[in-house]
Structures are given as C-alpha cells and as structure tokens.
C-alpha cells in the first residue's frame, strides 16, 4: 500500500493503490461490524456486509469508467493539432505541406498524445 501510494500518479499503479486501499477499508470495517454485531446488536453484521458490498460496487464502477477512457482514448484538442502542423511546416524550408496528421489517442500504455505527421 505504501509503495503504491508514492507511485499512484501512474495509471498502472493507481489501480493497485485503489485496490489495496479498498481492501484495507473493507477488512477493517468488516471486522468492526462483525465484532459489534456479535457482541452488541445482531443486525449490524448484515448491515455492514451490505454497506461493504455497496462500497465495492461503487468503487469498481467508478474505477471502470475511469479506465474505459484510457482504453478508448481521447483525441488531441484542435488547437494542439494546429500547433503541431505549424511546427511541422516551419521546421524546414523543404517541407511544402502537411498532408495528414493522424491522431493516435491517449491510451493506457502511453498517457501522452502520439501524432503521426505525413
């Protein structure tokens, strides 16, 4: 958990950080609710189990939506594309025109934008 905490800004490590954090919270909360349900109020144990299930459901659903955007990708902004075209054209006087700029969106393997200029 501590190792993942320091490297959580990287997408591949962030998922492990969230998983470890959830495991710690769920285990502590489940243990507390089981002990309280056994010793004091019997119905707190099943209520705690339902709350744990909802916590895991919402955590993984939000994480899934976050990861979908990394898998699908996001297109580069038009202003950024225009700047790349300008830099490509003004880079050398032998370049007469830019035919196409292919946008490879941000993905899980590369959190930056990769462009192909032809």
C-alpha–C-alpha distance, residues 104 and 84, integer Å: 14
- Buried-state track 46-76, b at ≥16 Cβ within 10 A, e below 16: eebeeebeeeeeebeeeeeeeeeebeeeeeb
pLDDT value at position 20? 84
Q: Which residues contact 99 (CB under 8 A, 6 or more apart)?
A: 118
Structure tokens, 17: 């950080």
pTM above 0.75, yes or no: no
Walk along the chain (118 residues) and give the pLDDT tens digit of each residue. 666 666 667 777 777 887 888 888 889 999 999 999 989 988 999 999 999 999 889 888 887 887 777 677 666 777 877 888 888 888 888 877 777 766 555 554 455 666 666 6
pLDDT value at position 74? 66
């Amino acid at each position: 958990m501590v190792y993942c905490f320091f490297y959580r800004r990287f997408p591949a490590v962030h998922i492990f950080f969230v998983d470890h954090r959830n495991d710690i919270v769920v285990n502590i909360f489940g243990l507390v609710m089981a002990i309280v349900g056994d010793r004091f109020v019997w119905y707190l144990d099943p209520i705690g189990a339902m709350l744990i299930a909802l916590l895991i459901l919402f955590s993984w659903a939000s994480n899934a939506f976050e990861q979908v955007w990394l898998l699908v990708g996001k297109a580069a902004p038009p202003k950024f594309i225009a700047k790349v075209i300008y830099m490509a054209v003004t880079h050398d006087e032998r370049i007469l025109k830019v035919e196409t700029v292919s946008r490879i969106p941000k993905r899980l393997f590369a959190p930056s934008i990769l462009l192909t200029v032809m």
